[in-house]
Structures are given as C-alpha cells and as structure tokens.
Amino acid sequence: MSRTTAAQAEDPASTADAEPPAPLTAAQAEDMLDGLPLVPAMAGSIPEMKALRDRCLAEGIPVLVGCPSGAGKRCGPRTHLLIEEHELPRLAHLVRSDWGDSLAREGLAPVELAAVGDGEHLPCPACGTAAPLVDGACSDCGLQLE
C-alpha cells in the first residue's frame, strides 16, 4: 500500500499526475497510524467527524476519530478528527474542494477573502478572527491552524 510522502502532502496539486491513493478502511487507517503522533485537525459531533473520516478514507487520507492525547478517554458529545501533521494540507485541500462543490450545487460562487488584520495576526480561514492562536487553534472558533 502506498503512502503519501510529506512533500506530496505539502502540495496536494503535485500528486495531480500521479495515480490517486487507494481508498482505505478504518481498520487500515488504525494500523497505519498506530503509535504515530497525531494532531487534532477538526472537532465536531460524532456523526460529523465519522462522515468526514469516511470521506478522507475514500480519498486515501489516513485519519482517526477520537480524543486527542491528554484529553482522557472521553471528549463528551464532541470528538476530533486525528491526523498526522504532514497530512493536514491534503485534508485542507479535500475540505476546500468539498466546500466548493457545495457552493456550486447551491449556485453560488466562491468568495475570495482578502487578508485583513493587524499585520501581526492572519485572519482565521473559517471565521475571519485576526487574533493570537491558542494552543495552535483559532481563539474564536477553535479551528486547528498549527
């Protein structure tokens, strides 16, 4: 089974000419990620994160649904999508692509946001807040950015 290299993950477009990664099962992703350092990429309801996990696995992106390390065994009614840090650009590309498809289905055009802020802090791509990050995440909406 082929894995995406860190360089390919940095630039999802670089794999455009390459054969697309084979879909993964949840069990394969668990085996691949067992013992590796994972970062929480997104948080949401259990059904939302399971649906996103399935979408990632279909694209060959190994992810897990669960609580980040240090959170104990339970996250409450919310859970997290866990991923290797070098795979974050592929996840971002997938989410952006799905968002664009959703806009197209609604007959809407994507909106380009100009970088605003005080020059010191870039705005969050999800909510637009330009503020210092808290543990690598947006201080307003919680989107993991680092």
Coil, strand, or helix at residue 137?
strand
Tell me if 65 sits within 8 A of 30, measured CB to CB. Answer: no
pLDDT at 87: 95
Q: Cα separations (Å) of 108 from 34, 96, 103, 111, 126?
A: 41, 15, 5, 9, 18
Looking up tokens 């339970």, which residue turns up? 74
Domain ranges of the chain: 6-12+20-105, 112-146
pLDDT at 102: 87
Q: What is the mean pLDDT of each run of 10 residues along the chain (146 residues)?
A: 45 59 94 94 93 96 89 75 95 91 84 60 81 88 85
pTM above 0.85?
Answer: no
H, E, C per residue of 18-41: CCCCCCCCHHHHHHHHCCCCCEEE
Looking up tokens 């694209």, which residue turns up? 59
The closest of 73, 76, 33, 77 to 53, measured between CA atoms, is: 33
